[in-house]
Every structure is written in structure tokens, then in C-alpha cells.
Structure 1
Amino acid sequence: MPSTGGHMSDIVTERYVVESKQSAAHAPLACSTQHCAFPLHGNHVCVWSPKDPSHQLLTLQGHHHLITAMVFGNQIDPLLLCSASEDYIIMWNMDECREKALKGLTPRGTVLGSPLQTVLCLRFSPDDRALAVCAGNKISMMDVEKQSVLVELKGHQGSVTAVEFCPWQAHTLFSVSEDRSFKVWDFCVGSLIYSSSILTAYPLLNLLINEENQQLVTGSADGQLWIFSLMEGHHYHCVAHVDLRKKKETFTTRRMMTEQYGLPEGHQYHCRYEVDKRGEAEATFPVLNLAHCDLCLPDSQGGGLAPECTTCIWIGSSTALFILNLASFELEAALHLKEFQSLSVQVAGSCAVMNEPISAKAVCILSSMFGSKIAVLEISLSALLSAQQCPRAGRMLSVLASSCVLPTSPLYFGIIKEKFPKLANTKRHAVKSAVEHRPLVFHTKVKSSGYTSAPHMAMFSPKTNIKHNNRRSSKYKNNYKCKEYSESFLPRNLIRQVAVAQAPVAVTCLQFSGDGQQLACGLGNHLSLVFDASLSGAPAAFSGHDGAVNTVCWSHDKRWLLSTARDRTLRVWSVPRTEFVMLLAADAFPKPVASAQFYYMDTFILLSSGPEFCLLKYHIDLCRDDIRRYKPKSRYKPIFRLPTTSAADITSLSAVNDFYSHIILTAGRDRTVEVFDLNAGCSAAVLAEVHSRPVHRICQNKGSSFIAQQSLAYNLFLTTAVGDGVRLWDLRNLRCVRCFEGHPNRSYPCGVAFSPCGKLMACGAEDRHAYVYEMGSSSFLYRLAGHTDTVTEVAFNPAASQLITATLDGKLQLFVAE
């Protein structure tokens, strides 16, 4: 007997339960915006409407054998339902059937044909004029009006499990099969367009087409998902591979570790949080259903860069329902059935989910794997997200300094001279007396202070205090200013390739100077070179390290160049003199210096050593002793040290030097990223499980003095790890907003870079290409060929539409716009 009382909770409500005489282990289920359909007693089609106040169950009879597939049409008027068994394929008009049932008559459907074999999948075309019938390893395209077979598509080696029509390309059909591959068909002429390779060891069960991003999503029986790009020219390139079991573990661990790091200082544990899994069997999550999910993510910080509604999908499995974000490929929510003991179905054999377009609720149908019950659930998305939202920092973080430096801040040492002027001396008295003896002059015209003039409406640009050098050529002064990377200004053309040394040597790091005129690169043979931005002429060589150079960094005024190497030393070089002016020896710190850079408008040197980072106050003196000319007279002094919360060694460090910022980002070997606020002198937030491997590079959107960006865009930063792609993060809400995995990077730590406009991202890859992505898409925009080895580093010119790439065999490539 059906039950409509249901079990109520804030997240899940069981709206309807029915028990069939037949086993419901793999019963076919279907959902539309207003109806739910499922088989009852094996050969009866039952339609239940969650919006109908009477909750009347509409039973449709016509099949004699077990129903194996059913689907609703895409049009609302009229709403069609098609069901299939081994004897008949029947199409039902829902309005006519409901009207006949109210009159006491027996509803009748239209028989489209007799398949004489098991039908596993049915799918209507977008206009409901064609129907794809999957029986065995073939797909039969039927004309709904003429009730005839148009064409049969053969090519799969196993039973076809799912098909989908392409919404933006007429006559295109996608299919997946138990042969573990997907195929693309032109069903109008009956030809095969594309056939993929074998994706996995388990059958592919479901298929979904994401029209917004033009992507194909397919899932297998072992809980694996693949996302392929359907954009023209991408040749069905794999965008991402998702393991549901690993994503679920990461989702759970990240929430627990975030709660742990959010505890008061006296209650924090400086060790990794281990989830107790004793007594739990390791299980996979077979992908039983894929459906669209219109999810509006809560933004407590306000002013998000992402659109209000994020593209997500429902993933139905045997023991849980997941919401996967197709931008970041991260789980937004996980609903485990065992957490709701009152539900009638705890382990599902089949599943169907429908997200209502406007309402914040979803309807889910589950059939029992080990019983005969079928249940209809109503899920509240807002309650689900609220219950599983990770706790965040109490205040909004921002790269842009929003307050003055506190006297207790370590950054106060950088402005102490301004706050506390020197005592008066004889020179200042002389100046003062000279001013006092000047005659008093009354001007007839006084220059306006500007308060009465109209306000200047300009975009935010943090580099407002830059003193431009008069030596800058007119090429950079006029050619690029305020130009963005539009379609006609993308650096695509390879115009120059230069070898950095006679013998092959790896290029380990690249960085342009702030004016875009010079390029510094570190090599694996202890040298640092400075090229002209056009890679013409002989480079300036900086020799002194005894190991491979790890880091090169320009000062804000372009006078100094900082480098670190595997010989555990840090050197500061004078760029005009090509000689080092300051040296931090190997014994200056107990552990090797992993990262270093200039910080706070060249006020400090910021470096990481082991599990802590350090601020150095330095003074560069170019004078030399006549006797000890080899020994520079520059000096430095450590003024602040701070360890990471987990005490893990720092693998990467990043901070903005082009404008005043209090934020420092560090990445640890425990796969965390920690945010430090130096104005408060403490840790502000910890991001757990950022990648599946330790992060080897953090790249912030630092902008350029030649182009303006929105102020919120400076809060974006990239992280990359070997074998785990590149991820884009928003500092304000501490969320991963997009993931880029369309480039091969399995063994070598390749570099990443922001474009000056902040709209593009470039990265190296191991297939001898450099990839360029748009921030609004996980599929690459284009890729650059012409390399002879793995692309290790990339760098955008801040003053021109240029991109320079470096390879493992020691070559630099210059790409410019057409």
C-alpha cells in the first residue's frame, strides 16, 4: 500500500512510498518538472505528481512483460511519457490519460513498435518528434508521428546504456555503452562521427550534456566521471576526470580540518586530522543518474565574481546523492541515505533526480536494492547547503589593504621612519632660517585645491604611486596602455625561439620586470640571465650560485634582482652592474630557502625556510672596501618569523609587491594553503586538501600598471600541483571557483601565470604545448605549439600582448598577437 504521510526533516522529506509485488532493484525511473514515473508490479506504469493536491496515483496498463525503460518528453504541452518492455514501446499523452482517468475510463497509449529484446534506455529529441531506442548494442531512431524506424545506429561492442541529443547541433546524438566508450553519431544519415577510446574497466552507465559549457559528462559503475569538451576544434578533449570516492573523502576531510583550524588558539592540534574509518567498508559509488542542478551558492562575503547560479549536476548513487560543481569539479554537498534512518530506502538500485527550475527544492525517486519499495523524496537545497557549509573566517579577507598599519604589526618597521622623524639638527635649522628670511608675497590668483572640480571616475589601479622611468620606449607607452586581451590581441604567433645555453639546460623560473622591458630567467646550471623583452641581443649573465636557480624576482624599482638556488644561498644582484650586492649564506637559516621575493614595495625581503616564513629588513650599500672588494657592505636583519599552523614545510610562497598588501599566502607539504595577515601578525585562514599532492606554485593576480582591473579581481590566485591540474581560488570566500585540468602534467612541476588583464591563465604542459585558459571556462581557449620539450615556465609581458614560454631543454619562445 502506498504511504503519503512521509518522514519529515529539514533537509529530506519522504513524500511518497509504494511497495511493489516485484523486486524494485533496478526498476526504471523517470522525473519531469511536474511528474514522477515508476513501474509497479513489474508491468504497470505509475505516474505520481508531487504538485497535485489530491496525490492521485495514475496507473497506466498496456505492457505484458517487465518494464525496462521509461522517459518523459521535453515539451510541456503536451507532456509525453514513453515506456518500453520486451513486447511493446508505448507512448502516453499525460493530459489525455489524466482526463480519461478522471472520467473513469481506462487510459490508452500509442504503440510505437515491438523491440522483441530488452530496451535499456529511451530518449526523446528536443522537439519530441524523434525517439532513440537503445536495445542491445544498437540504437534505433524512430519517428514518433509516423511510428516507424528512421535509421539504426550500429557500432558499439556492448549494450548501449544511455543516449543524449545535442541541444545546439541538430542531428547529433551521443551514446555510451557497456563497452566503456562513448560515440558521436549523425542520426540523420546514420553515420559515426567520433568514437572514443576505452575509458575505464567498468561499464559506462549514464550520460549528460551540459549545454552552457558545451561539455559531455559520463559516469561509470565504479564511481568515475569524465568530462569532455564538445567545443569546435577541441576534438572531444578530456577536461577533467573525477573519482567520486576520493572527492567524497576530500569533502569530508576538508570540512573537518576547517573546523579544527577554526578552533580557538589553545584548542588547535598541530597534527593532521584523521577520520576514523574503523568498522566501515570501503565502497564505490556507481553513477546511477546524472541530472542538472540549478544551484545558487550562498555568498556570505558578498560581491562574488562568479555568477549567482553555478553550473552543477546531481549525481545519484546507491548510498548517497552528490552535487558536483562543474566549474571547480568539487563537491558542494553530499547527502548520505544512512544519515536519515527514517527513510524507507537506504540502499538504492536505481535513482532519478529532477531539480525544479525556480524552486530551491529537488525531487528524487529511489528504488530499493534489496527490497520492493519505491520512495519519492523532496530535498531542500538551502537546508542541505547550510548544514554542510564549511565555517569560514569571521571577517572578509582582501589582498588590498583596507586599514592602516597597526603599531603592533611587523610591517610597522617599514614605516617607522615616516612615523618617527629624526631629531632637529643644524642642517634643518639652517633650512628653517632660510625660509624665515624669505619675503612675504601675496598672490592675486591662487591655484584651486581641486575640491570644487568634478570627480574623476576611473577604474581601480593599485599602482598609482609608480614613478615612470623616462627611458621607457614609446612602444610600451602608447601601444598597449588600456588594451585588453581580446580575440585580436591574443599572443598566438611564435616569432622567435632562443636557446639560453649551448648545451641543453632546464629553465627553472621566469619573471618580467614591472615595465615589461626585461625578462629574468633562472637556469639549472647555476646561472641567472636577463634578456630584453624581445629576446634580441646577448643576455646579461649573473653568476655566483653553485646550484640550480630556484627563484628569480625583480624589485619594484627594477634596480635589483633576487635569486635563490639549491646551494641554499640567497643573493641580491645589481641589474646595471651585473654583480651581487647582498648575500645570505647557507648557514643563515637552519633549513634551505624554498621561496623568496621582495615584499611591501621593496621594504622587506620575504622568504620561507622549512615550516616558517621570515621578514628581512635590508639595506643595500653599493660602496666597496678598497681592501675587501669581494665583500659587499649591504646588511640585513630578520625582524619577524611565523610558522605554519600544521608545522609542515612550506613549498611555495606568494605576496604582492606592486602595491601595499598585508596578505601572504603559503603552501605546505600537507596539501594546505594558509593565509597570513601581517597587519595582525597571525594566521587568518587555512585551506585544507587544496590538491591531491603538495602545491608547488602559488600565483596571484597582481595586475599591471598598464591596464586596470576591478578591485575584487586581485583576490584571485592560482595553485598548481603535479598530476592535479590548476585551481583558481577566491580569497574573499576561500573557495575554489574553477579547476583547469585539460593539460597533461603528470610528473614535472610546470609553471602558471596570470595575464595582465586578469582574464586569462597560461600554464606549461608535458605534451610540448603551452595552454591558455579563460577564467570563465574549464576548457582551454587555445594551445601553443612549436616547443621541443616539456614547457616548464610561462610569463605574460605586463606591458605588451606577449607571452614567453620556457622548455626543459633550455629554449625560450616568444609569442605575440597577430
Structure 2
Amino acid sequence: MKCEAEQTQGLQMEEPQEISSTEGGCVGDIVIEKFLIESKKSTPHVQLACSMQHSAFPLDGNELCIWNTEDPSQQLLALRGHHQPISAVAFGNTATPRLICSASPDRVIMWSLDECREKVLEGLIPRGTVLGTLLGKVLYLRFSPDDRVIAVCAGNKILVVDTESQSTLVELEGHQGPVTAAEFCTWRAHVVISVSEDRSFKVWDHRVGSLIYNSPVLAASPLLSLLVVEGSKQLVTGCAEGQLWIFSLVDRHHYRCVTRVDLRKKRESFSTRRLDSNPGSLPEESRLPSAHELAKGDDVEVTLPVLGLAHCELSLGLASECGLLSSENTSCLWVGSSAGLLILNLANFELEAVLHYKNFRNLSIQVAGSCALRSKTSDGKAFCLLTSMFGNGIAGLKVDPTALLRCQQRPTLGTRLSVLPSSRVLPTSPLHFGVVESSAQPARHRQPAARSVVKDQPLVFHSKVRSSGYTSAPHATMFSPKTNIKNDCKRSSERKNSYKWKESPVQNSPPTRLSRWLAVADGRAAVRCVQFSGDGRQLACGSANHLALVFGADLTGTPAVFPGHDGPVNTVCWSHDGRWLLSVSQDGTLRVWSVRRTELALCLGKDLLPKPVQSAQFYYIDTFILLSSGPEVQLLTYHIDTCKDEIRRYKPKSRGRAVVRLPMTGAVEVTSLSAVNDFYSYLVLTAGRNRTLEAFDLNVGRSAAVITEAHSRPVHQICQNKGSSFMTQPSQLYNLFATTAVGDGIRLWDLRTLRCERRFEGHSNRCYPCGIAFSPCGRYVACGAEDRHLATATLDGKLHLFVTE
């Protein structure tokens, strides 16, 4: 019989120490090594455990050591009962009683921490409850949310053991390799999910012992870790080659794969993005090693095996400070690897911070063999428990995510971009062209009148002379055509109609049922583009049969047809006042149509646009036409004259002229273009063939920002949250825009931070460019897919995929 002090005799535990960076600098508050213990036997590949107040790990092979993370003054508690090396440790989920389970090839033992500590204080030997014997090598243990059952991953099967009766309820068999991890679904207590070295995961109903879902082979290396995210209802699993797979656990999604994350590439892009944004402003201590530097190291560091996963809770204040779009808590993930710790944002699947062990001076463990993480302790920091890959050391680290994010956040721009203008138009701005021309035009007519002198003129100097009628016989008037078309020659400031505007409630949910279906054309002529008018009463579409059509919003009646193009119509756009319709075709022409008269009002061809037009729209409340042609963004001023001259009908009076041409950085072809026309805005967003996004400020007539490698493929559509006349939005929401690329899903960006804030994947979009659109309320983004389904996702990240038939 030994006391606690005698049981822990011989343990080499060092005092807590601050760890400084090898690059130099004051970053000691990021990581603090709380303790370091040297074990007699190496334990590189074991399951470690961390709870809110304790951490547990095997010591000297067959002893279970428990350390209080909240009260380091308490001595280590060593529990003996195993005869063979311990391979897995897990804490229970309930506070009373506090349970812990340990497993070795000879037995599985469950301990009550409170009882064990009382026994030690009384001078007795603590004893646990044996749940099973001779089960083989157990790689993983996991308690259910209520601690009533525990999943024991022994070999190729999972044993579900009742903690009260100590009996095995069911054995789940089906994996072709050793089971490496298992998790219970918190919102469905009867569901348990497991991953294995056979590179697949399975979903079980442990109450009846049946298999619910069996995934295909995911990777070329074994799956090592698993985490169930309750907030977004997702499954995250990682493999030995540094890749993460994220699946949706929503019932209707049928375990659809949302995305795959390559941690090595994400780490390289994270380092490159921070260095490229502003290399001179980064402190030396926050510099991350480049890809070339990492390649010089060992293979273990390059592959980044996923040893542990845990939630990372960030407060709203920190999220706002670091530029993270969040509602209450930013959904992030701690990823523990052999080389360091990474923070992955589950909203955009990008790395927010990277902590390399070798970059910190005096850190005892440089390469980890196993890792356990606790996301939040009483002081708001994370606790990490490590074992050495090549030594016998076991270390406990306190990591401050706030200091880590502040040290590695992207440098802010000098001027924050915004769709809403913050200053008036400059006199040298290209946008001032329309203002100057309109104000100077009357003065140009008045000046010759003041200097005019009397000149000799013919007796009849009128341009039109009425006939006297003497040479023609009298005739009766059959009908009188309406000739008062003065309003068509001017831009009316108010639309005269009887339609009443009605505010739409913000709480409206997206439509989920098919309301009406209509065949646009005979045969298989594809509809290439659609757009509602500003009042929502008309719908324009361009088709592959060279026609532009305008329907009523309810798709009833005969549509208005606008013929004239010699190629498929790729773009249709309404003017702000709803009187004009712009269309762009593959024939290289841009046409503006009069919606009222259903006739052509302006045609711009190859004489003005030598290169094909990819996209075009009205801009600056119909003052200009904005288009992309080749590698340039062009701003055109136009004049539409609907007054007909019966004598010179062959000579069109409508015309257009280029005001400014802005080339993209790198002189690459523009693939998409977007700007706000419903209110005055200076910013124009473009996407290039080299996968970059570029924002132009037309108030100064130059590029304002460039985002490199926005997608893995060229962006084929930029969609801004332009709002609606039927709904009011906060001004900050107008700075959000979405982009989409073939095979790379949808990404939501914020102009204020120039970073991807949300990422929506999992829908079928591998070969064909599918369109996206914002809802009028700004809460949803919708996209089409190749499987003829429509997906609608909320922007707050709570629901990533909502499929409607």
C-alpha cells in the first residue's frame, strides 16, 4: 500500500516555461510548456486524452498518469492495473462522476477519478472496473454523450460496452483493417461513426447492430482521426498523408462529401498569401517557412499526418479583429500534426494560423508521435498533449489562439474598399465624363448665339416646308398615329405605372417547390442566361438559338422576341429604369433593345469592339455601359435616339464611345465582370483567366486590389449582393460578393478584408459552368448543378447545402 507521493516518485517533471521563437521576438505568450515528463518506454502512437481540467497519458508503458491542468500544484496521479502497455485513453463526457477509461491488450479498465483520488488520500490503492479482457490491441476508446456506453475499437471491430452492467451490447464488424477512431453522433444517440486503416468510414446503429452507410475508399493512406461537428452537422476525418475530408451529416444529404482539404498545400498558400500581401510589414518572428525550406526537412513534416482534431472556439471580438465573418462563434478546427498545430476555418476551409514546433526555442518535442487537444480551458487557452515520435518525452502545452491569430493575421490595407462611395466624384475621374458633358452642352449652344451676326439667308430657310395642297386632291383622314414621342428621346426620372411597391419580409425562406415550367424554344436550344427586371415583373433570357426573350414574371402569355443576333446570346441585362435590355452574343456584337417597342436601339460591333465581348452591363444608374473585351475593362458612354427620321432611316443616330480602357494585371483575358447599377458605386469587380480577382476603382481610374489564386480554376461568374427595391439590407452586406468556378464550388468574399469568408461545396459542378445568384434579402446564395438540382445555402454558415428538386 503506497501513498500518492510514493506512487509518483521518480517522475521527472519540469517547471512551466515560456517558449520563445527561434526567429527571435516577443512571442512567448503564444506557447507555454506546462510540463515535460520522461517515460521509461516510448509511446509514439497511443491515444491521449484531454478534458476541461485533466489530461491523461500512459507512463512507463502500463501506468495511467493523470495531470490536473487547472491546478498544477496537485501531484500527478498514477493508476496501476494494466500488465501490458496502454494503447488508448479516453475521458467521459459528464461531470459527475468523472470517468476515464484505459485499454491495453490484456484488459479495458474504467476508473472514477473522484474515487481514485479519495482512495489515494486514504492511503489505499485505487482500483478500476474491468470492462473486458484479452480483446487484442485497442487503438481507440470513446464514451457516448451520456457515458452509458463506450465504444472500444479492437482490431477490425467495434465493441459497444455498457458501463453499468460491464457487458458487451453489440459487436460491429465490417471494416477490412484495424479501426483507428470512432465517434458518437451527439444529436442521434444511437449512431456511431468509425474510420479504419482500410481508408473508409462507416456509420452504424449500435442499438440494433446494423450498418447504415459504408463510404468508398477515400485515400491512399489510412484514416487516423475523426471529429463530429454538431453546429454544422458535419463529419471531419483526416489521414496519414495530411488530407482532410468533410462530409455532411444532414439527413437529406446522404453523407455527401463537402470538400477535401490538402493541409500541405493550404500551409504553403497560407505562407505565400501573407508574404505576398505585404512582405515588408510582417514581423520576423511571425514568418513561416517557405515550401522550399519545408522540403529540406524530413518526410514526416512534409506529409503532415492528422494525429488529432478538436474544436477551436474563437470569440466574436477576436473574429472581427482578425477579419473573420462570424455570427456568435467562428467555427474553426484545431488540427494536430507531427510538425505542429493548425487552425482551419470550417466556413471557408482556409488556414487561419500555423504553429510549427521547430520555430519555437527550447520546445522539448520537435516531432510529435501522438496528439490530443482541448479547445478551451478556464483561461480561454487551448491545451495540447504531445508524445515524442523518436523519444520518450511527454509534454503539455498551453496555446493562446488569440495571440497566435494576431501574430499571423494578414496585414490590413491602407484603404479599405467598399461598394458604397465615401467621397464625391473627382474631376479627373472617368465617371465625371457624363457629368461634364451634360453640364457643358447648353453652354456650347449659347455661346455661338451670343456672337452670331446677321447673314444672308434664302427666303425660305426652314428645314421642312409644308405643302400648300394646291396640287393634290382633298382626302379624308382614316387614322391619326401617335407622334408624341418626346418622352422616348429623354431619360425619365420616374417610372409612370400603377404598380405598388411592397416591402418583402426578411424572414422569408427560399422557394422549395416548382411553381411553373415552360419550354422556351423548340428542340434543344439551351437557355444561357436569365435576369429579372428591377421591379420583378419581367424576366429576360438569352438562348442558344440567337434570340433574347422577355416573359412576364409568372411565365404566362406570349413572350416578347428580340431577334437579330447571329450567335448564342450569352448575357442579358436590364437597365435601372426597365426601359432598355442589353444583350451580348457570340457573334461579337452588343445590342441595346427598347423593351416597349421591341426593336433595336443601339448596336455596337467590331468597329468599336475588335475583340469578343465576354460580359457587359449598364453601370452608374444607366449612365455608362461597362463591358469586358479581351484583357480590358471598357467604360462606354452611349446615346440612344429613338426619334425617327423618315428621310434618313438608314442612318442610325444612336452611338457609343469608349471613355476609358483598364487592362487587367498580367494582361490576361477577363472571364467575368460585375458592378452595381442600382446606386452610384465606383468599384468594378473582374476575374481573369489566371484565376485572379481584381477590383478597379473608376473614381481614380486604376486597379485598387488584386486577389491571386481565388479558385483552383478560372472564375466564370462574379455575383454581387446588390440588394432589392423590395427589401432593406444593412449597408455592410453590399460589400459581399460570390464567385464560382468549375469544380471548385462557391466562395463568398468580403471587400473590406479581401478574403474568402465562406466556402460552399458538395454540389455537382465538375464540367459545366453553373450560375449563382443572391436572394433579395441577402441571406441566401443559390447555384445550379449538373444533376438538375438547385442548391441554396445560408450565408451564416449554419446550413451549407439545401437541395431542392
Shorter-chain TM-score bucket reads 0.7 to 0.9
- Contact 1:611 1:650 (8 Å CA) reproduced: yes
Question: Quick one: structure 1 residues 485 and 205, their matched pair in 2 at CA, closer, same or farther if it must change by over 3 Å?
Answer: same
Q: Distance in 1 between matches of 2:205 and 2:294?
A: 51
Q: Distance in 2 between matches of 1:514 and 1:260?
A: 44
Residue 386 of structure 1: CA displacement?
1.3
- Contact 2:16 2:32 (8 Å CA) reproduced: no
Q: Distance in 2 between matches of 1:384 and 1:56?
A: 30
Q: Distance in 1 between matches of 2:592 and 2:762?
A: 38
Aligned counterpart, 2:17: 6
Residue 504 of structure 1: CA displacement?
1.0
Q: Distance in 2 between matches of 1:629 and 1:422?
A: 27
Are residues 1:384 and 2:404 paired? yes
Aligned counterpart, 2:761: 741
- Contact 1:312 1:323 (8 Å CA) reproduced: yes
Give per-residue Cα distances to partners, 1:319-345, cap 9 Å, x unaligned.
Answer: 132111111122111222232253222
- Contact 2:790 2:803 (8 Å CA) reproduced: yes
Spell out the pairing of 1:156-175 with structure 2 (5 A cutoff): 156-175=175-194
Aligned counterpart, 2:709: 689
- Contact 2:320 2:326 (8 Å CA) reproduced: no
Residue 721 of structure 1: CA displacement?
0.6
- Give the one of 179, 187, 205 matched to 2:198: 179
Q: Distance in 2 between matches of 1:279 and 1:301?
A: 33
Aligned counterpart, 1:665: 685
Q: Distance in 2 between matches of 1:631 and 1:69?
A: 87
Residue 562 of structure 1: CA displacement?
1.5
Q: Distance in 1 between matches of 2:673 and 2:767?
A: 21
- Contact 1:130 1:141 (8 Å CA) reproduced: yes
Residue 140 of structure 1: CA displacement?
1.5
Aligned counterpart, 1:795: none
Aligned counterpart, 1:269: none
* Residue type at the aligned position of 1:119: V
Q: Distance in 2 between matches of 1:369 and 1:660?
A: 60
TM value normalised by structure 2: 0.85
Spell out the pairing of 1:38-53 with structure 2 (5 A cutoff): 38-53=57-72
Aligned counterpart, 2:512: 492
Which region of structure 1 is more displaced relative to structure 2, 775-784 or 697-706?
A: 775-784
- Contact 1:261 1:686 (8 Å CA) reproduced: no
Give per-residue Cα distances to partners, 1:269-324, cap 9 Å, x unaligned.
Answer: xxxxx965695477322221111110236456799862242011111112132111
Are residues 1:652 and 2:687 paired? no
Give per-residue Cα distances to partners, 1:715-749, cap 9 Å, x unaligned.
Answer: 11110011000111122222322111121101111
Aligned counterpart, 1:612: 632
Aligned counterpart, 1:121: 140
SS of structure 2 residue aligned to 1:415: helix
Spell out the pairing of 1:565-604 with structure 2 (5 A cutoff): 565-589=585-609, 591-604=611-624
Which region of structure 1 is more displaced relative to structure 2, 71-80 or 689-698?
A: 71-80
- Contact 2:324 2:757 (8 Å CA) reproduced: no
Which region of structure 1 is more displaced relative to structure 2, 720-729 or 1-10?
A: 1-10
Aligned counterpart, 1:399: 419
Give per-residue Cα distances to partners, 1:60-114, cap 9 Å, x unaligned.
Answer: 2211101110011112233221110011211222233334445554433222221
Which region of structure 1 is more displaced relative to structure 2, 624-633 or 245-254?
A: 624-633
Aligned counterpart, 1:108: 127
Aligned counterpart, 1:328: 348
Give per-residue Cα distances to partners, 1:762-794, cap 9 Å, x unaligned.
Answer: 111011212122222374554333xxxxxxxxx
Question: Quick one: structure 1 residues 780 and 75, their matched pair in 2 at CA, closer, same or farther if it must change by over 3 Å?
Answer: closer
- Contact 1:622 1:632 (8 Å CA) reproduced: no
Are residues 1:137 and 2:153 paired? no
* Residue type at the aligned position of 2:218: L
Are residues 1:27 and 2:46 paired? yes
Are residues 1:340 and 2:360 paired? yes
SS of structure 2 residue aligned to 1:588: coil
Are residues 1:205 and 2:248 paired? no
Q: Distance in 2 between matches of 1:588 and 1:164?
A: 64
Residue 623 of structure 1: CA displacement?
3.6
Spell out the pairing of 1:214-233 with structure 2 (5 A cutoff): 214-233=233-252
Question: Quick one: structure 1 residues 706 and 472, their matched pair in 2 at CA, closer, same or farther if it must change by over 3 Å?
Answer: farther
Q: Distance in 1 between matches of 2:538 and 2:333?
A: 46
- Contact 2:319 2:330 (8 Å CA) reproduced: no
- Contact 1:115 1:135 (8 Å CA) reproduced: no
Are residues 1:481 and 2:481 paired? no
Spell out the pairing of 1:676-715 with structure 2 (5 A cutoff): 676-715=696-735
Q: Distance in 1 between matches of 2:253 and 2:347?
A: 18
Residue 609 of structure 1: CA displacement?
2.4
* Residue type at the aligned position of 2:192: L
Are residues 1:524 and 2:538 paired? no
Bigger RCO of structures 1 and 2 (CA < 8 A, at least 6 apart): 1
RMSD, aligned α-carbons = 2.8
Give per-residue Cα distances to partners, 1:490-548, cap 9 Å, x unaligned.
Answer: 42332432222222122221111111122222222332222222222333232333333
Q: Distance in 2 between matches of 1:679 and 1:744?
A: 40
Question: Quick one: structure 1 residues 254 and 670, their matched pair in 2 at CA, closer, same or farther if it must change by over 3 Å?
Answer: farther
- Contact 1:301 1:733 (8 Å CA) reproduced: no
Aligned counterpart, 1:446: none
Aligned counterpart, 2:770: 750
Spell out the pairing of 1:205-284 with structure 2 (5 A cutoff): 205-259=224-278, 276=292, 280=296, 283-284=302-303
Question: Quick one: structure 1 residues 590 and 49, their matched pair in 2 at CA, closer, same or farther if it must change by over 3 Å?
Answer: farther
SS of structure 1 residue aligned to 2:512: strand
Question: Quick one: structure 1 residues 424 and 592, their matched pair in 2 at CA, closer, same or farther if it must change by over 3 Å?
Answer: closer
- Contact 1:229 1:779 (8 Å CA) reproduced: no
Question: Quick one: structure 1 residues 94 and 405, their matched pair in 2 at CA, closer, same or farther if it must change by over 3 Å?
Answer: same
Q: Distance in 1 between matches of 2:661 and 2:292?
A: 35
Question: Quick one: structure 1 residues 250 and 587, their matched pair in 2 at CA, closer, same or farther if it must change by over 3 Å?
Answer: farther
* Residue type at the aligned position of 1:400: L
* Residue type at the aligned position of 1:545: H
Residue 599 of structure 1: CA displacement?
0.5
SS of structure 1 residue aligned to 2:431: helix
Aligned counterpart, 1:78: 97
* Residue type at the aligned position of 2:513: N
- Contact 2:135 2:154 (8 Å CA) reproduced: no
Residue 466 of structure 1: CA displacement?
10
Are residues 1:62 and 2:78 paired? no
Spell out the pairing of 1:541-556 with structure 2 (5 A cutoff): 541-556=561-576
- Contact 1:89 1:114 (8 Å CA) reproduced: yes
Are residues 1:633 and 2:653 paired? yes
Q: Distance in 1 between matches of 2:280 and 2:66?
A: 49
Q: Distance in 2 between matches of 1:302 and 1:625?
A: 62
Aligned counterpart, 2:7: none
Return the index of the structure with the highest Cα Rg.
2
Aligned counterpart, 1:432: none
* Residue type at the aligned position of 1:721: A
SS of structure 2 residue aligned to 1:153: strand
Residue 643 of structure 1: CA displacement?
2.6
Unmatched segments (≥5 aa) in structure 2:
1-11, 21-26, 283-289, 450-490
